[in-house]
Amino acid sequence: MNPLLSRLQPYPFERLRELTKDIPPNPAYRPISLGIGEPKHPTPAFIQQALTDALGGLASYPATAGDPKLREAMCAWVQRRYGVQLNPATQVLPVNGSREALFALAQTVIDPTQHRNAGGPVVVCPNPFYQIYEGAALLAGARVAYANSDPARNFAPDLSSIPESTWAATQLLYVCSPGNPTGAVMPLDEWQRLFELSDRHGFVIASDECYSEIYFRDVAPLGGLEAALKLGRTDFRNLISLTSLSKRSNVPGMRSGFVAGDAQLIRPFLLYRTYHGSAMSPVVQQASIAAWNDERHVIDNREKYRSKFARVTPMLTEVMDVALPDAGFYLWAKVPGADTDFARGLLAQYNVAVLPGSYLAREAHGINPGASRIRMALVAEVDECVEAAERIVAYVRSLS
């Protein structure tokens, strides 16, 4: 048995089930879950039709590199969205959702034989974080260094908390912008700092951008490739951006996304994936082409989220420390007392499930930055989210 498997921690939703397994939810209320970040808006009909029309593709093995038309559609979207021109033959690669690619990238990048210090190779990730970052690092034979989010800086990771000796051993840095769970977007000066660190120490930057198309201000979130171009880094050296159709197009079950950036990294990543057996189904490829080529449904989807957050956020701000995020579909709220106690009490009294913030973070630099916070995924339709907010307001008021 691979001994590295013993280093993995239970997934947050497993911990939530364990936390609440002895709680009989209040039968007076229908269950509402704000725990899992799974889009619930309907999948656009034209994407469903594209899947059906492509069923003949099941008779063929797909190429790991994907259909050239798919890579061209992905590059055309990057050009429209970020003003970045990519070579579809060398700088983009389809993946089966960003989660799979985030994991596989670490297995490609990390060299456990390179011991720049006694502790071995390091992967740096934000804290709180998407747990795939940690698991990918551990199974690649690396150790994880956590950069705690700073509420005073819009929950940006505090990179100054990572000592120079750790940066010197770092081989991979995960960033998430817009962030999960905080919704924070990294500004250009923060990107410049990351690139300078990468140049100094030679590590790869994996930019997780799966929430990029759900935002609440007039300016779309800055992407990693866009930031690199603005700073004159036209070769996208040591940078891989990862994105997905799941949130953008409401197709989480389709498992479709892509990675893009440094051609010198895309090449070995393709080699790894060829052996890993990660080729995207031809049926999904054709539906993905349709999705990447259409923006109307993305605008409509974004408006749904904007309307929903405009109604729910003011309700919750009356009783909680919470604010409209830059982007994404989560609210990251401070709660009275322990976050785990809050989650248990809310479920018991009002049958609403939320995720304790401490489950999304690790103890680092003397604190757990998710403690006394909860993550609420506003993924359902507006009426359900408003009803959940009403119950949360009532619960918080009952505590005082």
Domain assignment present for residue 20? The answer is yes
- Tokens 């893009």 locate to 260
> In which band, very low, low, confident or very high, does the pLDDT at 91 lie, cut at 50, 70 and 90?
very high
Domain end: 240, 261, 294, which one?
294
pLDDT band of residue 117 (cuts 50, 70, 90) is low
Q: Are residues 277 and 305 in the same domain?
A: no
pLDDT value at 93 more than 90: yes
Q: In the listed set 294, 313, 347, which residue is the last one of a domain according to the structure?
A: 294
* Residue at 48 is within a domain: no
Output the pLDDT for position 115: 64
- Distance, CA of 345 to CA of 394 (rounded, Å): 12
pLDDT tens digits, 97-112: 999 999 999 999 999 8
Write the pLDDT tens digit of every residue in 317-362: 999 999 999 999 999 999 999 999 999 999 999 999 999 999 999 9
What is this structure's pTM?
A: 0.96
For 226, the domain range is 60-294
**Does the pLDDT at position 244 exceed 90?**
yes
326, two tokens? 């830059």
- In sequence order, what are the residues at sequence separation of 6 or more whose Cβ sits closer than 8 angstroms to the Cβ of residue 240? 105, 204, 205, 206, 207, 259, 260, 261, 262, 265, 266, 269
Contacts of 53 (CB under 8 A, 6+ apart): 286
CATH of the domain at 193: 3.40.640.10
How far is 275 from 151, CA to CA, in rounded Å?
42
Question: Using an 8 Å Cβ cutoff, are 216 and 309 in contact?
Answer: yes
312 and 259 co-located in one domain: no
Average pLDDT, the chain: 96
Both 224 and 108 in one domain: the answer is yes
Decide which of 262, 279, 294 is a domain's last residue.
294
Residues 140 and 72 occupy one common structural domain: yes
> What pLDDT, on a 0 to 100 scale, did the predictor assign at position 140?
96
CATH number at residue 321: 3.90.1150.10
Confirm whether 51 is domain-assigned.
no
- Please give the pLDDT value at position 7: 94
Q: Does 85 share its domain with 122? A: yes
11 has a pLDDT exceeding 80 = yes
Q: Does 101 lie in the same domain as 250? A: yes
Do 286 and 176 reside in the same domain of the chain? yes
91/126 same-domain check: yes
Number of folded domains that form the chain: 2
Residues 270, 251 contacting (CB under 8 angstroms): no
pLDDT single digits (tens) 361-398: 999 999 999 999 999 999 999 999 999 999 999 999 99
For residue 189, how many C-alpha atoms fall within 13 Å in the half-sphere facing its CB?
2
Does one domain contain both 30 and 135? no
Q: How far is it, in rounded angstroms, from Cα 309 to Cα 230?
A: 31
Identify residue 359 by its one-letter amino acid code. Y
Q: How confident is the model over 168-218, as pLDDT tens digits? A: 999 999 999 999 999 999 999 999 999 999 999 999 999 999 999 999 999
Q: Is residue 47 part of a domain?
A: no
Q: Domain for residue 370, yes or no?
A: yes
CA 245 to chain centre: 12
Residue 120 lies in a domain: yes
Residues 134 and 257 in one domain: yes
Q: Give me the helix-helix angle, 382-399 and 339-350, nearest 10°.
A: 110
Residue 49 covered by a domain: no
Percent of all residues in the chain with a pLDDT value above 90, rounded to a whole number: 95
As beta bridge partners, residue 374 has 333, 356
Report the 3 state secondary structure along the chain: CCHHHHHCCCCHHHHHHHHHCCCCCCCCCCCEECCCCCCCCCCCHHHHHHHHHCHHHHHCCCCCCCCHHHHHHHHHHHHHHHCCCCCCCCCEEEECCHHHHHHHHHHHHCCCCCCCCCCCCEEEEEECCCHHHHHHHHHCCCEEEEEEEEHHHCCEECHHHCCHHHHHHEEEEEEECCCCCCCCCCCHHHHHHHHHHHHHHCCEEEEECCCCCCECCCCCCCCHHHHHHHCCCCCCCCEEEEEEHHHHHCCHHHCCEEEEECHHHHHHHHHHHHHHCCCCCHHHHHHHHHHHCCCHHHHHHHHHHHHHHHHHHHHHHCCCECCCCCECCEEEEECCCCHHHHHHHHHHHHCEECEEHHHHCCCECCECCCCCEEEEECCCCHHHHHHHHHHHHHHHHHHC
Is residue 289 located within the same domain as residue 367?
no
In a domain, 211, yes or no: yes
**Residue 166 sits in the same domain as residue 226:** yes
